[in-house]
Amino acid sequence: DQQVKQNSPSLSVQEGRISILNCDYTNSMFDYFLWYKKYPAEGPTFLISISSIKDKNEDGRFTVFLNKSAKHLSLHIVPSQPGDSAVYFCAASLYTGKLIFGQGTTLQVKP
């Protein structure tokens, strides 16, 4: 039972444009949602999070939007930079510190 899904395995955008990564979840009890970025040969790095009681959180070029009615969240990166090329994981927490991850989306930002 995949509670967190990232349906797009890959995304390619031009440098300077917006990157939008999507994530869907099934469990309405999740209390926190997070985005992690992963480069090859490194562990996932925390990027940004959002509490289930909010609908938007912004940190520099990164903004996460949460639509609870649709059980959907998205990560917007504006403007996209070549250094943003990585695998992005969406994750959800169930009040327990246990993170449930999606399958990941590989973002390629072309110069």
Partner 1 sequence: DAGVTQSPTHLIKTRGQQVTLRCSPKSGHDTVSWYQQALGQGPQFIFQYYEEEERQRGNFPDRFSGHQFPNYSSELNVNALLLGDSALYLCASSRGTVSYEQYFGPGTRLTVT
Q: Does 104 bind partner 1 (CB under 8 A)?
A: yes
Q: Which range of residues in 14-22, 34-42, 61-69, 70-78 is near partner 1 by CB under 8 A? A: 34-42
H runs (alpha helix) in the chain: none
Query: Quick count: other Cβ atoms within 10 Å of Cβ 31?
Result: 12
Nearer to partner 1, 62 or 101 (CB): 101
Query: Quick count: other Cβ atoms within 10 Å of Cβ 26?
Result: 12
Q: Does 28 bind partner 1 (CB under 8 A)?
A: no
Q: Does 62 bind partner 1 (CB under 8 A)?
A: no
Place of tokens 């917006």: 18
Among 52, 65, 99, 108, binds partner 1 (CB under 8 A): 99
